[in-house]
C-alpha cells in the first residue's frame, strides 16, 4: 500500500543524495567540476582525477551514505519498539558505552584501528545488555527503558570524561574526535565489512516488517492477528542494536542521526508509521550533508579570515586566531544541525498553535 | 516517609550530617589532619602546615556547600514546576551555555585558570536560559514546561556541538574543557565564592517565596488557578530562581551531575510532598552529598583525585535506575 507521496519523497531524497555525493566527490583541495566527477564515475577521466575520486573520496562518500542509512533505520526501529519519538540509540547510552569500550581499548590494549572498533562494539553491546537487564521486568517497552538508559549513559559519560583526563592531551583529542563520530581518515575495508554484515540483518528486518507495523495498532490487536508482540519487539531491538553497532565500529558514535532521521522522514512523507526505507534514505542524506559541512567548514572559515585580513589590514590583528587545520568530526555537525532542527520544529509548532 | 511528629528529629539528623561532612571535608585528603588540630586551626592556632592545608580546604568546603545548596534547590524547583520527576536544572540549557562560554573564553581570550572561568560560565548560563525561555514562551500562552524542556534540550545540543568543534580545533581549549567538564571544587578561591554569593542568595530567596505556589501547581494548573495562584508569575519566578541557582553552581564547580535530580527525590521519600518542606530539606541534603562525594573523590585513588562531578554521577545513576525500577514510583507513571 505505497502512497504516491512516499514514492515522490523517496525519489527526491535519492536525487538529493546523488547530488550531494557528486559535490562531495568533487570538493577539497583538488577541486573537480561535477561534469568531471561524472566522467570519472562512468569510467573515463584523467588518471589523477580517477585516483582522487575513486580511491580518496569515494570510500568516504559511500560510508556516509551506507552508515547514515544504517543509523536512520536503527533509530526508526528503536522508536517503533519503544513507541517514543525521543528514543534513539544515543539516548539509550549505546554511544557512551561504545566510547567507553574504545577508550578502555586505547588505554589498556593498543591504538590500532580494528582493535578500537572491536572495543567499541563490545562496549556498546555490554551497555545494551546491562540496560536491557536492568529494565527488563515489565517489558522492554516504554519509559523505564529510557530512564535506565539515561542513568547508565550518564554514568558512562562521566567515566569517559575521567578517562580523557587521565591520558595525554594528544591522545585525548584523537579519542574525543572519535567519540564525537568522524569520517576523517576512513579507508575502504571497514566500510565494506560493515555493509556486508548489515545485509543479512536488513533481510531479517524485511521479513519482520509487516509484524512490526501491526505492533503500532497496540499489543492486543497485534496478538489477535497472529503476531507475538514480545518476540517481534526483542528481535527488532536486537537488529537495531546490531545496526548501530556496525556504524559505530566504523565511524564512532555519530549522534542525532538515529534520533532525527525517522522523525524528519515521517514528517516529509506524512505517514503515520516509521518506514525503514524512508528513515534510511533520510539518515544517509543527513550524514552525507553533515560530513560535507564538517570536512570543509574550517578551511572555508580560514579562507574567509584571510580574505578579510587582506582587504582590511588594520583589522587583521584583531581577528581571532584561525583554528588549526584539523577537519572537524562529522558528529559535531550532526549534533548542531539536529538541535537546530528541533528548535525550528518547536518554533513552527508554536506558530501554528498561536 | 517519617511521621510528621518525627520531622524535627529528621531535620536534626540532617544538620548533624552536614556538620560531620564539613568536618570530614576539612580533615581528610592527601594530607589528613586530626579533627582537634582542625578545630585549633579554625580558632587561629594550629601549626603552619595545618593553616596552609586549611587555606585550600576551607574555600573548597564552602564551594561545595554553596554549589550543593544551589543545585538541590534548583532541582526541587524544576521537578515541582515541570511536574516531571526526571527534570534536572541542566535541562534549561544551563550547563551547555556555561560550557560554551567557557570554551569561547579559553579559545579566544586565553583564559587559563578556573577562577577566571567563573564569569564566562555564569554569563553563558544566564544568556542561554533566557534564550530557552524566550523560545519556550513565544507564541500564545505562557511558557509551558514541556516546551521549555524541549527548547532547552535542542539549544543545548546545538551549543554542545559547537563547543566540541571549538575545542577539537584548539588544543588549549580542549585541555581546559576536559577538566572543567568533570565538575570539580578544586582551586575555587574565596573571592570567586563572594562574587557568586549575591546571585545565589537572590535565587534562594525567590525560591523560598515560591514554595506555597508550587504546592498549588502540583495539583495541576487549573486547580492552582482556581485557588488563586498566579501561574504565570510562578513560572517566571521559577525560571529566574533556577537560572540564578544553577548558574551559580555551574559557575563555581562546573557541571555537577545528578545532585539536582536525586536530592529532591530523597527529600520526598523521607519528608513527604510538601514543597515548603522539600525545598529546605534539599537545600541541606544536597551540600551534604556534594561534600561527601568530594571527600570520597579525594580518598578513592589518593594521592590523585577523582573530580566531584564524576563521583556524584556514580552515586546518582544507581539511584535513578532504582527509582525507575520501583514498581509504583509515584509521578513516574504520569510520563509513561
Distance from CA of A91 to the nearest CA of B (A): 12
Q: What CATH number does the domain located at B4-335 have?
A: 1.10.3470.10
pLDDT in tens, A107-123: 888 777 778 888 888 88
Residues B204 and B245: their CA atoms lie apart, in Å, by 7
Does the beta-carbon distance from A323 to B162 stay under 8 Å?
no
Residues A101 and A95: their CA atoms lie apart, in Å, by 10
Helices within chain A (DSSP H only): 4-26, 34-41, 47-50, 58-82, 94-104, 113-135, 143-166, 169-180, 188-215, 219-224, 229-251, 257-269, 276-311, 313-316, 330-353
Residues A23 and B328: their CA atoms lie apart, in Å, by 55
Residue B307 burial by CB count (10 A; 0-12/13-18/19+): exposed, middle or buried?
buried
- Among A155, A169, A350, select the one facing B313 at the smallest CB separation: A155
C-alpha grid cell for residue B149?
524542556
Identify the closest residue of chain A to B152 by CA–CA distance.
Answer: A343
Does the beta-carbon distance from A172 to B178 stay under 8 Å?
yes
Residues A3 and B160: their CA atoms lie apart, in Å, by 39
Does the beta-carbon distance from A256 to B181 stay under 8 Å?
no
Buried b (16+ CB within 10 A) or exposed e, A217-228: eebeebeeeebe
Backbone angles phi, psi at B252, to 5 degrees: -70, -50
Give the sign of the dihedral formed by CA B31, CA B34, CA B40, CA B43.
positive
Query: Minimal CA–CA distance to B219: which of B333, B77, B80?
Result: B80
Q: B120 with B102: CB under 8 angstroms?
A: yes
Residues A181 and B314: their CA atoms lie apart, in Å, by 25
Distance from CA of B322 to the nearest CA of A (A): 9
Predicted local confidence at residue B72, as pLDDT? 92
C-alpha grid cell for residue A307?
580574505
Does the beta-carbon distance from A158 to B164 stay under 8 Å?
no
Which residue's C-alpha cell is 501561574? B231
Backbone angles phi, psi at A255, to 5 degrees: -95, 165
DSSP B44-87: T-S-HHHHHHHHHHHHHHHHHHHHHHHHHHHHHHHHHHHT-TT-
Mean pLDDT of chain A, nearest integer = 82
* pLDDT > 90? residue A309: no
Residues A308 and B270: their CA atoms lie apart, in Å, by 63
Whether A353 and chain B come into contact, CB under 8 Å, resolves to: yes
Whether A258 and chain B come into contact, CB under 8 Å, resolves to: no
Does the beta-carbon distance from B332 to A143 stay under 8 Å?
yes
Residues B83 and A346: their CA atoms lie apart, in Å, by 21
Distance from CA of A115 to the nearest CA of B (A): 23
Q: A residues 262-291 near B, CB within 8 Å?
A: none
Query: Minimal CA–CA distance to B230: which of B218, B216, B240?
Result: B216
Find how far residue B57's CA is from the centre of its chain.
20
Predicted local confidence at residue A288, as pLDDT? 94
Residues of A in contact with B330 (CB under 8 A): none
Find how far residue B45's CA is from the centre of its chain.
34
User: Cβ neighbours of residue B87 under 8 Å, at least 6 residues apart?
Assistant: B75, B78, B79, B81, B145, B149, B261
Whether A180 and chain B come into contact, CB under 8 Å, resolves to: yes
C-alpha angle B248-B182-B90 in degrees, rounded to nearest 5: 45
User: Cβ neighbours of residue A303 under 8 Å, at least 6 residues apart?
Assistant: none
Residues B95 and B252: their CA atoms lie apart, in Å, by 12
The mean pLDDT of A202-209, rounded to a whole number, is: 88
C-alpha grid cell for residue B169?
580545533
- Among A148, A169, A324, select the one facing B169 at the smallest CB separation: A324
Residue A137 falls in which region: left (phi positive, over 0), alpha (psi -120 to 50) or beta: beta
Identify the closest residue of chain B to A350 by CA–CA distance.
Answer: B139
Does the beta-carbon distance from B138 to A324 stay under 8 Å?
no
Residues B112 and B33: their CA atoms lie apart, in Å, by 31
Tens of pLDDT along chain B (336 residues)? Answer: 667 777 788 888 889 999 999 989 888 877 788 888 888 888 877 787 777 778 888 888 999 999 999 999 998 988 887 777 777 777 777 888 888 888 888 888 877 777 777 888 888 888 888 888 888 776 655 556 667 777 887 888 888 888 888 888 888 888 888 888 888 888 777 778 888 899 999 999 999 998 888 888 777 777 777 777 777 788 888 888 988 898 888 888 888 888 888 888 888 888 877 888 888 899 999 999 999 999 998 888 877 888 888 898 888 888 778 877 764 444 443 333
Residues A154 and A184: their CA atoms lie apart, in Å, by 27
CA dist A172 to A102, A152, B255, Å? 12, 22, 20
Whether A221 and chain B come into contact, CB under 8 Å, resolves to: no
Does the beta-carbon distance from B310 to A161 stay under 8 Å?
yes
Does the beta-carbon distance from B318 to A151 stay under 8 Å?
yes
User: Cβ neighbours of residue B7 under 8 Å, at least 6 residues apart?
Assistant: B271, B277
Whether A323 and chain B come into contact, CB under 8 Å, resolves to: yes
Q: How many CB pairs under 8 A join A and B?
A: 158
* pLDDT > 60? residue A99: yes
C-alpha angle A77-A83-A88 in degrees, rounded to nearest 5: 50
Q: B260 with B246: CB under 8 angstroms?
A: yes
Residues of A in contact with B326 (CB under 8 A): none
Residues A301 and B309: their CA atoms lie apart, in Å, by 35
Does the beta-carbon distance from B139 to A353 stay under 8 Å?
yes
* pLDDT > 70? residue A222: yes
Residues of A in contact with B156 (CB under 8 A): 339
Give the start-to-end residue ranges of the domains of chain B.
Answer: 4-335
C-alpha angle B314-B70-A151 in degrees, rounded to nearest 5: 25
User: Cβ neighbours of residue A258 under 8 Å, at least 6 residues apart?
Assistant: A71, A72, A74, A75, A78, A88, A89, A90, A244, A283
ipTM: 0.79
* pLDDT > 60? residue A140: no
Does the beta-carbon distance from A165 to B307 stay under 8 Å?
yes
Q: How many residues does chain B have?
A: 336
Distance from CA of A88 to the nearest CA of B (A): 14
Does the beta-carbon distance from A162 to B138 stay under 8 Å?
no
Query: Minimal CA–CA distance to A331: which of A287, A279, A283?
Result: A287
* Third-level CATH fold of A4-296+326-346: ABC transporter involved in vitamin B12 uptake, BtuC (1.10.3470)
Amino acid at each position: 500500500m505505497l502512497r504516491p507521496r512516499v514514492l515522490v519523497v523517496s525519489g527526491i531524497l535519492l536525487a538529493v543524495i546523488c547530488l550531494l555525493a557528486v559535490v562531495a566527490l568533487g570538493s577539497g583541495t583538488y577541486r573537480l567540476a561535477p561534469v568531471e566527477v561524472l566522467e570519472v564515475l562512468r569510467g573515463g577521466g584523467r588518471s589523477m582525477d580517477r585516483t582522487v575520486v575513486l580511491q580518496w573520496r569515494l570510500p568516504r562518500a559511500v560510508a556516509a551514505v551506507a552508515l547514515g542509512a544504517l543509523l536512520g533505520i536503527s533509530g526508526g526501529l528503536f522508536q517503533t519498539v519503544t513507541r517514543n519519538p525521543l528514543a534513539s540509540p544515543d539516548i539509550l547510552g549505546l554511544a557512551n558505552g561504545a566510547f567507553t569500550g574504545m577508550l578502555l581499548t586505547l588505554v589498556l590494549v593498543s591504538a590500532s584501528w580494528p582493535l578500537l572498533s572491536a572495543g567499541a562494539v563490545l562496549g556498546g553491546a555490554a551497555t545494551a545488555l546491562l540496560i536491557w537487564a536492568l529494565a527488563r521486568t515489565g517489558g522492554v517497552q516504554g519509559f523505564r527503558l529510557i530512564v535506565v538508559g539515561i542513568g547508565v549513559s550518564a554514568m558512562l559519560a562521566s567515566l569517559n570524561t575521567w578517562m580523557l583526563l587521565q591520558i595525554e592531551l594528544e591522545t585525548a583529542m584523537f579519542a574525543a574526535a572519535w567519540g564525537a563520530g568522524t569520517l576523517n581518515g576512513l579507508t575502504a575495508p571497514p566500510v565494506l565489512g560493515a555493509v556486508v554484515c548489515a545485509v543479512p540483518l536488513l533481510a531479517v528486518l524485511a521479513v519482520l516488517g509487516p509484524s512490526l507495523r501491526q505492533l503500532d495498532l497496540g499489543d492486543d490487536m497485534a496478538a489477535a492477528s497472529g503476531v507475538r508482540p514480545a518476540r517481534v519487539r526483542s528481535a527488532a531491538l536486537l537488529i537495531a542494536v546490531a545496526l548501530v553497532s556496525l556504524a559505530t565500529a566504523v565511524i564512532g558514535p555519530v549522534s542525532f542521526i538515529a534520533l532525527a532521521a525517522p522523525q524528519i522522514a515521517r514528517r516529509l512523507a506524512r505517514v503515520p508509521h516509521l518506514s525503514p526505507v524512508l528513515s534510511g534514505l533520510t539518515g544517509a542524506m543527513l550524514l552525507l550533508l553533515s560530513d560535507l559541512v564538517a570536512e570543509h567548514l574550517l578551511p572555508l572559515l580560514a579562507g574567509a579570515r584571510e580574505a578579510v585580513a587582506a582587504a582590511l589590514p588594520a583589522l587583521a590583528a584583531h581577528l581571532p586566531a584561525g583554528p588549526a587545520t584539523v577537519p572537524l568530526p562529522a558528529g559535531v555537525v550532526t549534533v548542531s544541525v539536529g538541535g537546530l532542527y528541533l528548535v525550528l520544529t518547536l518554533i513552527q509548532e508554536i506558530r501554528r498553535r498561536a | 516517609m517519617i511521621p510528621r511528629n518525627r520531622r524535627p528529629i529528621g531535620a536534626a539528623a540532617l544538620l548533624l550530617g552536614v556538620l560531620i561532612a564539613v568536618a570530614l571535608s576539612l580533615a581528610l585528603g592527601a594530607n589528613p589532619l586530626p579533627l582537634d588540630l582542625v578545630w585549633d586551626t579554625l580558632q587561629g592556632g594550629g601549626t603552619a602546615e595545618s593553616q596552609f592545608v586549611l587555606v585550600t580546604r576551607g574555600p573548597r568546603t564552602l564551594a561545595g556547600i554553596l554549589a550543593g545548596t544551589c543545585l538541590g534547590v534548583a532541582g526541587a524547583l524544576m521537578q515541582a514546576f515541570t511536574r516531571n520527576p526526571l527534570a534536572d536544572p541542566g535541562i534549561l540549557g544551563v550547563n551547555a551555555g556555561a560550557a560554551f562560554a567557557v570554551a569561547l573564553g579559553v579559545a579566544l581570550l586565553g583564559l587559563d585558570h578556573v577562577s577566571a572561568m567563573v564569569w564566562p560560565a555564569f554569563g553563558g548560563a544566564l544568556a542561554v536560559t533566557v534564550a530557552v525561555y524566550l523560545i519556550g514562551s513565544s507564541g500564545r500562552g505562557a511558557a509551558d514546561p514541556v516546551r521549555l524542556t524541549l527548547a532547552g534540550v535542542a539549544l543545548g545540543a546545538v551549543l554542545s556541538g559547537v563547543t566540541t568543534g571549538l575545542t577539537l580545533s584548539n588544543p588549549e581549549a580542549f585541555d581546559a574543557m576536559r577538566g572543567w567538564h568533570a565538575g570539580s571544587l578544586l582551586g575555587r578561591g574565596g573571592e570567586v565564592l563572594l562574587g557568586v554569593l549575591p546571585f545565589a542568595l537572590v535565587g534562594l530567596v525567590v525560591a523560598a517565596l515560591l514554595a506555597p505556589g508550587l504546592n498549588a501547581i502540583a495539583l495541576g494548573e487549573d486547580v492552582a488557578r482556581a485557588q488563586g495562584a498566579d501561574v504565570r508569575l510562578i513560572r517566571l519566578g521559577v525560571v529566574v530562581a533556577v537560572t540564578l541557582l544553577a548558574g551559580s553552581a555551574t559557575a563555581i564547580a562546573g557541571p555537577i551531575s545528578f545532585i539536582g535530580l536525586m536530592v529532591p527525590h530523597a527529600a520526598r521519600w523521607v519528608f513527604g510532598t510538601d514543597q515548603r518542606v522539600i525545598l529546605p530539606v534539599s537545600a541541606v541534603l544536597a551540600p551534604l552529598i556534594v561534600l561527601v562525594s568530594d571527600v570520597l573523590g579525594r580518598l578513592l585513588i589518593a594521592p590523585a583525585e577523582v573530580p566531584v562531578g564524576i563521583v556524584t554521577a556514580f552515586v546518582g545513576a544507581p539511584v535513578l535506575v532504582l527509582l525507575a525500577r520501583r514498581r509504583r514510583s509515584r509521578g513516574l507513571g504520569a510520563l509513561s
